[in-house]
Structure 1
C-alpha cells in the first residue's frame, strides 16, 4: 500500500507543479500587461490551489504510512533528513503561503492587485516547494 501511495504522490506532483507554474506565469503576465482579471484566471488559480492541497494530503498519507516512521528524524543522513523533515516542513510552509495568497487576492478589487498578490504568494510558495523536492529520488 505504501508503494502505491508514494507513486501517486510522485505522479500527482507533476500535475500540481505544472498547474502552479502556469498560475504563476499567468499572474506575472496579467500584472505586467495590466490585463483584466477574468473568471479563467480565477479558475486557473483555484485549480493550482486544489492540486497543491491534494498533493499535501497525499504527502501526509505517505509520511504517516512510511515504513521509516519516526526513525527519519536522524540528523546524520542528509537524504533521510530531506525526505523526513525538510521536504514536508518547507512544502507545508509553501502551501500555507499559496493559500494565504488565494485568500488575500479574493478580497482585492483591482485586477492589477489580484495578479500581483497571486504572483508573489504563489511564486514564493512554488520556489519553496521546488527547493525541497527530493530530485534524486523523484526520477528513480
Structure 2
C-alpha cells in the first residue's frame, strides 16, 4: 500500500468522525439555543473537537488534491469538475464556517448567543457537506452517500 492509498483511506474514514461530530454539535447547539440551556465546558470541548477534526480532514484533503488522479481529469467531465473544483470549494467553505462559528462563539459571553452562533455556522456547514455528498453521488455513479471510496 503506497502513501496515496493510505492517505485516501485516512481521508475516507476520517470523514465519518467529522460528520458525526458536526451533527452532534449542531443538535446540541440547537437544543441549547432553543432550550435556553447554559453553555457548558462539554459544549466547548465538542465544538473544539469538531473544529480540529475538520481541520485534520482539510489537511488530508489538500494533500490528496495534489496527488489524486481524479483532480487531473478534464473539468468538462462531471467527475473531473466535481473533484477538481466543487468538492474542494464546498469543503473549504464548510470548514471556514466551522472556524468562524467557533471563533464568534468564543467572543460572546451570553450562553444562548454562544449556542446560536454554533447552531447557525455549524448548521450551514453541515448543509454544505451534505449537499457536496449528494453532488458527489450524482457526478460519480460509483459512489454512494455513506459508501467508502
TM bracket, shorter-chain basis = over 0.9
Corresponding residue of 2:114: 114
Kindly provide the CA deviation profile for residues 28-85 of structure 1, in whole angstroms up to 9, marking residues without a partner as x: 000010000010000010111111111011011111111345x33x332112211111
User: What residue in structure 1 maps to residue 29 of structure 2?
Assistant: 27
CA RMSD of aligned residues (A): 1.4
Task: Report the counterpart of residue 43 of structure 1 in structure 2.
Answer: 45
CA distance in 1: counterparts of 2:95 and 2:16, whole angstroms: 16
Given that 2:91 and 2:128 are in contact with CA atoms closer than 8 Å, whether structure 1 keeps it comes out as yes
1:73-106 CA-to-partner distances (Å, cap 9, x unmatched) read x332112211111000111011101100111110
- Find the residue that maps to 1:7 and give its secondary structure: helix
Q: State the distance in 2 between where 1:5 and 1:89 align.
A: 20
Q: Distance in 2 between matches of 1:85 and 1:4?
A: 23
SS at 2:143's partner residue? helix
Runs of 4+ off more than 4 Å = none
Aligned equivalents of 2:13, 2:70: Cα separation in 1: 21
For residue 59 of structure 1, the aligned residue among 45, 58, 61 is 61
Contact 2:33 2:112 in 1 (8 A): yes
Aligned position for 1:137:
143
Task: Give unpaired runs (5+ residues) of structure 1.
Answer: none
CA distance in 2, matches of 1:110, 1:130: 30
Q: Is the 8 A contact 2:75 2:84 kept in 1?
A: no
Shift of 1:137: 2.8
Runs of 5+ in structure 2 lacking a partner? Answer: none
> How many residue pairs are counted as aligned between the two chains?
138
1:98 equivalent in alignment to 2:98? yes
Could you say which residue in structure 2 is the equivalent of 1:85?
85
